[in-house]
Structure 1
């Protein structure tokens, strides 16, 4: 698929996709941004479609995923803002620092969502809640040894995430 094909898909489907996103999000600005992002994906990773309906099915699926990503980012952002507001002393940070923290939190959230549920739960209980292996094992109904395996698996994913971040920063 070349730029001309994407241009044709854009003219055939953009209005429909924008309307779909606007109904789903209730916000024209977000709908415009996500419609744009859907077509950018087609430029980055070209696809061909057998039919008009096939293109719409693909765009609808992409739009659904983009909405979920937007909602998750907003949940993470709200949690960050709530944590800042809960600080005993007024705490301010630069917009750049906030953006970096939100990007990191979003990446960690995405990593945790890719892990099996018990692995993600064990990691959060151990790191965030500072629970012992025995406490985590009792909570999850597994052995201490299994908790250590879960933690090792989660830490491996953290190291991979950190390596990707370091590669992107270079």
Structure 2
């Protein structure tokens, strides 16, 4: 089959997937979000992910597949909202003279989201120790006292978090 014909078939299959499942997927996502606009965005993002990574014809169970992708996007959406809220609360505590440009605010939020993603695979106590140290600036002994852990455990958790960050950052860190 010529390349153009193959592309046309893939386009038709993707179009069919979209037409047949857009409405229920939007409704499914809408039930999980406060905003119909956010639901519409995440519905589009779901189809874009499939279009970018998969041939629609290979999807055997479209509803289950779409719901799985959408569930991940909804979780990511709420995680990002939570990070944004924590960041805004921190900003509100700063003196009025403390001003961050919209560009820098975007960069900070992106960085927080990347750090959160890096730490997601860690056990919750390891993640909490790392965040208390790196975000709140607490000393290891203070973290140990607050969390009722030994100093050695806090150090071990920090090492575990650092190793995870370095491994996941891979070659990008050393370029």
TM-score normalised to the size of structure 1?
A: 0.80
Match of 1:119 in 2: 126
Q: In 1, Cα distance between the equivalents of 2:66 and 2:157? A: 37
Alpha-carbon contact 1:137-1:147 (below 8 Å) kept = yes
Alpha-carbon contact 1:38-1:62 (below 8 Å) kept = yes
Deviation at 1:119, TM superposition (A): 1.7
Q: Does 1:25 align with 2:30?
A: no
Q: In 2, Cα distance between the equivalents of 1:15 and 1:165? A: 40
Deviation at 1:162, TM superposition (A): 5.3
Could you say what the CA RMSD is over the residues aligned between the two structures, in angstroms? 2.7
The 4+ residue runs of structure 1 with deviation greater than 6 A are: none
Alpha-carbon contact 2:42-2:73 (below 8 Å) kept = yes
Runs (5+) with no aligned partner, structure 1? none
Q: In 2, Cα distance between the equivalents of 1:44 and 1:56? A: 18
Deviation at 1:9, TM superposition (A): 0.6
- Which digits, 9 at most, give the CA deviation of each residue in 1:36-93, with x for residues without a partner? 110111122215222xxx2101111221221111111111111111111111234222
Q: Does 1:14 align with 2:22?
A: yes
SS in 2 for 1:115: coil
- Which digits, 9 at most, give the CA deviation of each residue in 1:80-109, with x for residues without a partner? 111111112342221111100000011112
Alpha-carbon contact 1:137-1:144 (below 8 Å) kept = yes
Q: Does 1:149 align with 2:156?
A: yes
Q: Does 1:79 align with 2:89?
A: no
Residues 166 and 140 from structure 1, CA distance in 2 versus in 1: closer, same or farther, beyond 3 angstroms? same
Q: In 2, Cα distance between the equivalents of 1:117 and 1:26? A: 27
More off after superposition, 126-135 vs 81-90: 126-135
Deviation at 1:146, TM superposition (A): 3.5
Q: In 1, Cα distance between the equivalents of 2:89 and 2:171? A: 28
More off after superposition, 6-15 vs 157-166: 157-166
SS in 1 for 2:125: helix
Deviation at 1:2, TM superposition (A): 3.1
Runs (5+) with no aligned partner, structure 2? 1-8
Q: In 2, Cα distance between the equivalents of 1:128 and 1:144? A: 19
Residues 140 and 94 from structure 1, CA distance in 2 versus in 1: closer, same or farther, beyond 3 angstroms? closer
TM-score normalised to the size of structure 2?
A: 0.78
